[in-house]
Amino acid sequence: MPLSIITGDLTQVRADALVNAANTWLSEGGGVCGALFQKAGREQMRAACQQIGRCEVGQAVITLAFDLPARYVIHAVGPMYQDGRQGEEAQLESAYRSALSLAGKHGLRSVAFPLISSGIYGYPKQEALAVAVRGIRAFLDAQEDELDVTLVLFHQADAQLDPALRRRLSELIEGAQLEEARRLHRMAETRRNARYLRSLAAEETLDSRGFELEAPDVMPAMLPDPGSGLDALIGRMDEGFSTSLLKLIDKKGLTDAQVYKKANLDRKHFSKIRSNPHYAPGKLTVLALIIALELRRDEAEDLLSRAGFALSPSHKTDIIVGHFIDQRVYDIDTINTALFAFDQALLGAKV
Per-residue H/E/C for 38-80: HHHCHHHHHHHHHHHCCCCCCCEEEEECCCCCCCEEEEEECCC
In a domain, 192, yes or no: no
If asked whether residues 137 and 174 sit together in one domain, one would say: no
Report how far residue 251's alpha carbon sits from residue 338's, in angstroms, rounded to the nearest whole number.
29
Residues in the chain where the model's pLDDT stays below 70 = 1, 201-238, 351
CB burial string 150-186: b at 16+ within 10 A, e below:
bbbbbeeebbbbeeebeeebeebbeebeeeeeeeeee
In a domain, 194, yes or no: no
In a domain, 204, yes or no: no
Report how far residue 331's alpha carbon sits from residue 148's, in angstroms, rounded to the nearest whole number.
18
pLDDT at 287: 98
pLDDT at 160: 86
Bridge partners (DSSP) of residue 206 are: 212
If asked whether residues 174 and 108 sit together in one domain, one would say: no
- The pTM assigned to this predicted structure is 0.83
Could you list the residue range(s) of the whole structural domain that residue 176 is in?
162-181+239-351
pLDDT in tens, 89-103: 999 999 999 999 999
pLDDT at 234: 45
The amino acid present at 217, given as its one-letter code, is D
If asked whether residues 87 and 168 sit together in one domain, one would say: no
**How many folded domains does the chain comprise?**
2
If asked whether residues 7 and 125 sit together in one domain, one would say: yes
**Which CATH number do you get for residue 135?**
3.40.220.10
Count of Cβ atoms closer than 10 Å to residue 254 Cβ: 15
pLDDT at 349: 82
If asked whether residues 249 and 146 sit together in one domain, one would say: no
If asked whether residues 16 and 136 sit together in one domain, one would say: yes
In a domain, 98, yes or no: yes
If asked whether residues 167 and 57 sit together in one domain, one would say: no
If asked whether residues 133 and 167 sit together in one domain, one would say: no
If asked whether residues 103 and 19 sit together in one domain, one would say: yes
In a domain, 110, yes or no: yes
pLDDT at 213: 46
If asked whether residues 143 and 243 sit together in one domain, one would say: no
If asked whether residues 168 and 250 sit together in one domain, one would say: yes
In a domain, 223, yes or no: no
- Going by C-alpha positions, the residue among 282, 292, 276, 283 that lies closest to residue 316 is 283
Q: Which of 160, 191, 211 is the last residue of a domain?
A: 160
- Going by C-alpha positions, the residue among 337, 341, 196 that lies closest to residue 349 is 337
Long-range contacts of residues 43-52, Cβ cutoff 8 Å, at least 24 apart: 45/73, 49/75, 50/26, 52/26
pLDDT at 219: 44
In a domain, 202, yes or no: no
- The Cα angle at residue 115 between residues 111 and 120, in degrees rounded to 5: 135
pLDDT at 207: 52
Query: Residue 42: which residues within 8 A CB-CB, separation 6 or more?
Result: 28
pLDDT at 223: 47
If asked whether residues 166 and 295 sit together in one domain, one would say: yes
In a domain, 221, yes or no: no
